Each structure stands twice: as C-alpha cells, then as structure tokens.
Amino acid sequence: MRSYLKMLVNKQEKDEDMSNPTEKSIPASAGMRVAQTSLVNKLKNKEYRDAYVEANIMQGLAHQIRTNRENRDWSQHDLAEKCKSSSQTSISRLEDPSYGKYTLSTLIKLASAFDVALIVKFVPYSKFLVETEKKAPKYLYAQSFDNEFIENKTVTDFSSEKTTKQDILSMYHTEVFNEIQSNFIVGSIDGKKIRNNCDLDNKFIFISNSEKSEDEYAIH
C-alpha cells in the first residue's frame, strides 16, 4: 500500500511537470507562488491528497525525531533511556521514514523525553500547507521548555512544587469548561440566560437562573 501511494505521488508530480514545461524558468521571487499553485492543483486529486498527507506525517515525524535528538547531542541509546520503555533499536525504527507505525502513546513519550509540547488535531488544508511548507532541519527542531523559558528567565521556575497528573487533568477540564461557558452562554434577557443549544438550526434557548445551576450549563 505504501509503495502504491509513493508511486501515485511520483506519477502525479511527473504529469504536472510535463504539463508545465516552462515552470523551471520562472524567477525565484515567483517560485513560491508557483510551487503553491502547482501543489494545490495536484491536491485536487483525492488519492494524491491522502498520500501527500500520510507522507508528510510519517516521513515528517521520522525526520523531526532525528533532528531533535541530534540537536541535543543525544545518541539513539540516550533517547531510548529517556523514553524509559524504548530500546536503541526501536528509536532507530522511529527515525526510519519508511516505518510509519507511530502511536499516540509513543509520541507522548517522545515529547516528554524532548520536553516539548505535542499537538495532534485535524486542520484545514490551508493551515496544513503552511505548517508543512518548510522542511529544513531548523524548522523541525523544537526547543525544550527549560531552554525556551527557564534559561531565558521568561517565567518563574515552579519545578519544586508538587503537582500530580490528576491535578493537571482537573485544571485542563476546568479551563475547557470555562471556555465552553463563555462560548455558549451568550447573554441574558429579563434575568434569563441565553445559551446556544448547538442544534442544527442554531437556535437559542432560554434558561432561567432559578431553574438551572451553573454546572448544568455544561455540555454532556
């Protein structure tokens, strides 16, 4: 399957090059716009689109893992030790662009080892193309939290404070709940709160303050 996707991408790019024989002679200043237009045209093909996204994720992760390890002057064995449950062989596989068997659990462990954040979310293609446009090593490297904040004295070091994983999850839940509250309770009329009920018609419903407590405004 993976070889088929690679073949599809190569074929699409070859066809595109043949249909645009003068593209290489375009000045460098216009090269970026031409490249973006050319790529968008290729992405109109659904199979190519899916293959392009998969290749950027699988190969991109491999290159990013290696870049972040090497920029920290770590060996594969060093990274394996910091991941605690990994071996040098497993790290070698993760840095292989043809491997492609990443799990969220593994990515979370790697993020912890590098002491960086991890974002996993669905995005529109416009944002995806901006995020994946620059592939040079300097754009793949992510500074650790300490290097970015503590050493640069931009925040106070609270590392000595005791905080459990449950505390963090509880805090995150509270932040999400408050965000939901601010987005969905949009005003009041005659002492009654107005909330968007998220139905398909996007209608508003009225909830009396005396009828519902604050925690009942949450989405279940």
State pLDDT tens for residues 164-188: 667 666 666 666 656 655 555 445 5
Structure tokens that stand for 111 in this block: 């993020």
- Same domain for 213 and 178? yes
123 phi/psi in degrees, rounded to 5: -140, 160
Whether 34 and 134 map to the same domain: the answer is yes
70 and 169 co-located in one domain? no
Does residue 82 sit in the same domain as residue 182? no
Most confident by average pLDDT, 107-121, 148-162, 168-182, 189-203? 107-121
- Contact between residue 92 and residue 86 where contact means Cβ atoms under 8 Å apart: no
Residues 124 and 188 in one domain: no
Task: Kindly give, in sequence order, each residue whose CB lies less than 8 Å from that of residue 197, ignoring residues fewer than 6 positions away.
Answer: 203, 204, 205
Sheet of 192-196, strands arranged across: 185-189, 192-196, 204-208
Region 122-134: mean pLDDT is 91
In tens, the pLDDT along 11-21 reads 555 554 554 44
Within the chain, strands assigned E span 185-189, 192-196, 204-208
Which uninterrupted H or E stretch holds 84? none
On whether residue 28 sits in a domain, the answer given is yes
Average pLDDT score, the chain = 74
In b/e form, how buried is each residue of 64-78, taking b as 16+ CB within 10 angstroms?
bbbbbbeebebebee
Predicted TM-score (pTM) of the model is 0.59
Q: How far apart are CA 202 and CA 198, in angstroms?
A: 6
Domain count, the chain: 2
Establish if 211 belongs to a structural domain: yes
The rounded distance, in Å, linking the Cα atoms of 10 and 14 is 6
pLDDT in the model for residue 46: 96
Q: How confident is the model at residue 38 (pLDDT cuts 50, 70, 90)?
A: confident
Examine the domain organization and report whether 181 and 135 are in the same domain: no
Q: What is the pLDDT of residue 150?
A: 84
- Whole domain around residue 132: which residue ranges? 2-150
In the predicted model, is pLDDT for residue 195 greater than 60?
no
- Average pLDDT on 86-114 reads 94
Residues 109 and 170 in one domain: no
150, 177, 197 — which closes off a domain? 150
User: Are residues 124 and 174 located together in one domain of the fold?
Assistant: no
Q: Are residues 48 and 138 in the same domain?
A: yes
Host H or E run for residue 64: helix 46-70
Q: Could you give the CA distance from residue 12 to residue 48 in angstroms, rounded to a whole number?
A: 7
| Highest mean pLDDT: which range of 76-80, 130-134, 204-208 | 76-80
At 131, is the pLDDT very low, low, confident or very high (cuts 50, 70, 90)?
A: confident
pLDDT over 80 at 95, yes or no: yes
Question: Are 213 and 140 members of one domain?
Answer: no
pLDDT reading at 69 higher than 80: yes
Question: First-to-last CA distance in the chain?
Answer: 40
- In this structure, the chain runs to a length of 220
Residues 21 and 65 in one domain: yes
